[in-house]
Amino acid sequence: MFYSSILRQPAWTQAGCQPRENGTCSSGTRSTWSALLRPLRTLREHLMNDETKTDPWAGFARGWFMLRFSDELEAGQVVPLRRFDRELVLFRTASGEAKVLDAYCPHMGAHLGHGGKIVGEGIVCPFHAWKFDGTGKCIEIPYAKRIPPKAGLSCWPVRERNGMIFVWHDREKSEPDWEIPVLEEWEDPEFLPWRHAKLQIKTPPLAIAENLADAGHFIPVHNTHPVPGSFSNTYADHIGEQKIKAIAYPVHGGKDEFESKATYYGPAYQVTKMFGKGLGVIINAHTPIDAENVMLRFAVSMKATKGMTDELIEHFINNMRDGYLQDVQIWENKIYLDRPMLCDGDGPIGEFRRWYAQFYTPRNEAADAAE
């Protein structure tokens, strides 16, 4: 795209001559280096402009992102993580608090996630044993009398809800302005033990979240036939919701008439409740690793009702899990289209993108846009 834009530039930007006020050009004999470098600067500007023009989702969204299920992080465990194109360290203190800090030690740059040790409520750097508390403040240097006043690491807001560990990402570094709601089914003894899994996939986050508005994919991807007129989306604040009634012919056989409600809380955490032969719940959460890759974590469970056999439960859970993997196959291989060629019968993709854009827009501008 930028090649054709460059070709449309005035001749002086290509040939290195000096512009005159009237727009004509003449050969430049002074500032030869400057003239030679100008086309490179022009190219760079075009590249940058091209990126911002074609990628409205540059950077990462504001919101809560799941890092792990709680049972994937034991007390005293230290985990190096790359998320949001940044190196982080996730750890659980001796008392059980999950914490996330920037990974690189301000002393001499060691990565706390590789060899850092938990001592009490803090983490000790593997290189020279500086100790940081859960807020990132340096609280001990074993060989020094004085701790440099600015010694510290950036601390990321963390919540542990519904057996999951979330981190708040916000380029503006503001406090969270909404919370992950309690999912009653997570602790409900009538629900079967949750099964969860993770999967790294190569796709931008938008592709995953946009599924919420995609009315046309149910039949070809899931062999699920919506009841005409039953598909709807609603968007309010940070919550986006999809409702549908359908007849599914799932991967592992059978036929299931169901109604479902799929709710995104923010840009990256979704809870889907399916009411059919039983009540099933699917959680999916995606967290960017970098601009092209996300780590996807999902969990499924269902309510154990009377007369339900182990075989039926297994069958239902496998169907939920593998139905989800059908989406993954598409996401991993699709490209992003800034202007998809939509038709009647498609879901409200534009409405979805306007809602989703709030998570990429600075807060004050998002508030102005909402008014």
Give the rounded distance of the alpha carbon of 54 from its chain centre: 19
CA separation for the pair 313, 228 (Å, rounded): 29
Evaluate whether 42 touches 11 at the Cβ level (below 8 Å).
no
Binding site for ligand FES (CB under 6 A): 105, 107-110, 125, 127-128, 130
Least distance from ligand FES to the Cβ atom of residue 128, Å: 3
CA separation for the pair 50, 40 (Å, rounded): 15
CA separation for the pair 302, 163 (Å, rounded): 16
Evaluate whether 337 touches 349 at the Cβ level (below 8 Å).
no
Least distance from Fe ion to the Cβ atom of residue 283, Å: 15
CA separation for the pair 24, 126 (Å, rounded): 63
Residue 327 interacts with, from ligand FES, Fe ion, none (CB under 5-8 Å by kind): Fe ion
Give the rounded distance of the alpha carbon of 271 from its chain centre: 15
Name 342's Cβ contacts closer than 8 Å, sequence gap at least 6: 349, 350
Residue 107 interacts with, from ligand FES, Fe ion, none (CB under 5-8 Å by kind): ligand FES
Least distance from ligand FES to the Cβ atom of residue 19, Å: 52
CA separation for the pair 46, 44 (Å, rounded): 5
Using the minimum distance from each CB to Fe ion, give the nearer residue, 244 or 313. Answer: 244
Least distance from ligand FES to the Cβ atom of residue 75, Å: 23
Using the minimum distance from each CB to ligand FES, give the nearer residue, 111 or 196. Answer: 111
Residue 105 interacts with, from ligand FES, Fe ion, none (CB under 5-8 Å by kind): ligand FES
Residue 130 interacts with, from Fe ion, ligand FES, none (CB under 5-8 Å by kind): ligand FES
Name 126's Cβ contacts closer than 8 Å, sequence gap at least 6: 110, 112, 114, 115, 116, 117
Footprint of Fe ion on 316-335 (CB under 5 A):
327
Residue 125 interacts with, from ligand FES, Fe ion, none (CB under 5-8 Å by kind): ligand FES
Using the minimum distance from each CB to Fe ion, give the nearer residue, 185 or 327. Answer: 327
Least distance from Fe ion to the Cβ atom of residue 137, Å: 44
Residue 108 interacts with, from Fe ion, ligand FES, none (CB under 5-8 Å by kind): ligand FES
Least distance from Fe ion to the Cβ atom of residue 118, Å: 40
Least distance from Fe ion to the Cβ atom of residue 327, Å: 4
Evaluate whether 197 touches 321 at the Cβ level (below 8 Å).
yes
Residue 181 interacts with, from Fe ion, ligand FES, none (CB under 5-8 Å by kind): none
Evaluate whether 122 touches 101 at the Cβ level (below 8 Å).
no
| SS3 call for 341 | coil
Total of chain residues touching Fe ion, rule CB under 5 A: 1
Binding site for Fe ion (CB under 5 A): 327
